Amino acid sequence: MISATQQYATALLLSDALLLKVRKELSMIISKLKVYNFRQFKSVDGAPGLKITFHKGLNALIGENDSGKTAVIDALKLVLLTQSNEYIRPSDEDFYKPVGEDACSEFKIDCTISDFTRNEAKNFIEYLSFNQTENGIEYTLELHYRAWKEGHKIYQELRVGDIDDGISIDGKARELLKAVYLKPLRDAEREMSSGRGSRISQILLNHPVFKDKKEHAVLDIFRDANQRIEDYFTDDTDGKRILQTIRSNLESFSDKGQASNAELKTSDIQLKAILESLALNAPEINPGLGELNLLFIAAELLLLKDDTDGGLKLALIEELEAHLHPQAQLRLISYLQNEYNENDVQIIISTHSPILASKINLKNLILMKNGAGYDLAEGRTGLQKGDYLFLQRFLDSTKANLFFAKGIIMVEGDAENILIPVIADILGYPLEKYGISIVNVGSTAFLRYSGIMVRKDGADIGIPVSVITDCDVRPYDVKSTTKEKTFNEKEAESLLAKEKGDRKYTNGSVHGFTSPRWTLEYCIAMSCLSDDFHKAVHYGKKILNAQEHISLTDAKIDEANRDTKAETQEWNGFSQAERAYYIYKLMLNGDGKSSLKAITAQCLASLLRWKISIVPDGLTQEKMFDLDLYGFKTDEGKKAVLKSKIENDLFLSYIVNAIKYAAGETV
């Protein structure tokens, strides 16, 4: 019995005047997902444990391991089922289980489908909700899935409409909701092979060319072939001889006078059996997993191309990058974005690939973190429109590591990128152990990157972001007439710039950490690492000017050490700040810039590693710059001494605090 409300909705749908106002530019999409006590997503006071907004085209779920990407895909599968007709049922592991307590006895999943075309709406009319807008009639389908335990059994139901008093959905409407699904560990070779119930036969049978067809040209081809085979045994000499022999043999041991009318007939063939005999092969002689996987995806996408049935055009793809090398990943994601974005198809993928994350338009990304899905589309983040254009050009695979990190340190140059991991190790915060990614923005465009982690609504994503930057107050004055530089520490001006810098880059979980003096290198020259930095500059000069040796020889190291000692004696009586200024000047070219910064940083990093390592007897300092140094054991005593010096150094405190904050500590 159709309710009065449903009758009214039907009348609206059938009204030509109103049909013109129904939005036609889209096909129906999954627009909202809410889960309650499903997997790791705990519901508190009736609020969903997870709430995600999807949009048309491509949606990419990104984030670190165990952030809930697979749970989102599985929740959609439970509600919608799949076109591969997999056996999908809830299990004990799907019920939220607090630590040390029994699992919940019930979980729920709510799914909203919107943006119906006229062709789609007619298939769901008795289930649709509707409202009048300035753009016409908007139809939505509210799906409410529930699973619960009674004893050792798990029951499930799917209702539509009112959350408390909905009706069951079944029949054709249920079939039209099924999604295309590609599992993460795809056995493409098996899926594309022939056989009973093969995936390639399922794909073809669900394609409009074959779907619900009792008669088809392929059947005619097989019938014609069958008839020709049968004619062979009645008309061809060899075939007739075989059949006659069978009849003769039969007659010899049959009752006397019983005629033998034995015939060779082909079996009655059905379209399903014909399609099950097909295998989809790659043209290569021995195709690898990558080629077969691409072939499998190409076949599955067949089901998203046609809109004749008015069904949901949705593909769920887990770990799109599986078995694909980087270039293949890039080609595939470019195709999916170009073909289906802004189109009538919706694709929801999960990925761990920074390569894919860097290629996918930022507005198509959904960052999974701490039980939430954060849409990174324009208007949802702290980014401006111009920032999105900038990031589309410059957010490469290295910088895209920020989407998969537990903490982030943003730096503006190679020196910081090289030195901070070493300092972090000395402090006891190895970046890889704490899941911290360093993002080298290569300039001062911090806000264009840090804004990704800022929410417009003030929400906290929960990923601590440290922005390390220079205060850029030069410790000298320049005479207007002679352009001569005169040292001037400018302590007060530097500290004011530091305060402004910290405030500028602090927003939500993003915190600014500005150098208390000029630059990182200048602060190091002022710090307890001053002597080591002084040596590193001279080591760098030897490498920079080397013609025959990429690395340093013991002779060059001794020469650099002598130069360092001589300059130290020459600067005797200088203040700490002035001495740091002259050390820093050693790196600079006449234009005030330096090609030596990165090399010096690498030398200092090697020197610090050498100082805390257990160095085998007889090994000279030439080995200090060998990569094998990273394989040496650490002298914990020496490391503890150096750690204490760095932690208590005024000029390194901003680096220390930045590392600790990214590691999740309060500073």
- Mind listing the pLDDT tens digit for each residue in 164-195? 677 888 888 888 899 988 887 666 667 677 77
Q: Quickly tell me which residue has 């082909």 as its tokens.
A: 266
DSSP 538-556: HHHHHHHT-SS-SS--HHH
What pLDDT, on the 0 to 100 scale, is given for residue 22? 38
Residues of the chain with pLDDT under 70: 1-26, 163-164, 185-189, 191, 254-260, 282-290, 305-308, 340-343, 444, 545-550, 589-594, 627-630
Q: What is the pLDDT of residues 531-555, one digit of tens each?
A: 999 999 999 888 876 554 457 788 8
- pTM here is 0.83
What pLDDT, on the 0 to 100 scale, is given for residue 344? 74
What pLDDT, on the 0 to 100 scale, is given for residue 284? 61
Burial class (CB within 10 angstroms; exposed 0-12, middle 13-18, buried 19+) of 415 = buried
Q: Which residues, in sequence order, are CB contacts of 314 under 8 Å at separation 6+?
A: 29, 30, 80, 179, 180, 345, 346, 347, 348
State the Cα–Cα distance between residues 542 and 550, nearest whole angstrom.
Answer: 9
Bridge partners (DSSP) listed for residue 82? 179
- 169-191 burial string, b = 16+ CB within 10 Å, else e? beeebeeebbbbbbbeebebbeb
Q: Which residues, in sequence order, are CB contacts of 558 under 8 Å at separation 6+?
A: none
Identify whether the C-beta of residue 461 lies closer than 8 Å to the C-beta of residue 509. Answer: yes
State the Cα–Cα distance between residues 38 and 93, nearest whole angstrom.
Answer: 9
State the Cα–Cα distance between residues 220 and 274, nearest whole angstrom.
Answer: 11
What pLDDT, on the 0 to 100 scale, is given for residue 14? 41
What pLDDT, on the 0 to 100 scale, is given for residue 444? 66
What pLDDT, on the 0 to 100 scale, is given for residue 345? 83
Q: By three-state DSSP, how is residue 206 classified?
A: helix
DSSP 340-380: HTTTT-EEEEE---HHHHHHS-GGGEEEEETTEEEE-STTT
Q: Which of 266, 303, 276 is nearest to 218 (CA)?
A: 276
Q: Which residues, in sequence order, are CB contacts of 366 under 8 Å at separation 6+?
A: 52, 54, 59, 60, 61, 62, 373, 374, 375, 376
What pLDDT, on the 0 to 100 scale, is given for residue 349? 93
What pLDDT, on the 0 to 100 scale, is given for residue 570? 94
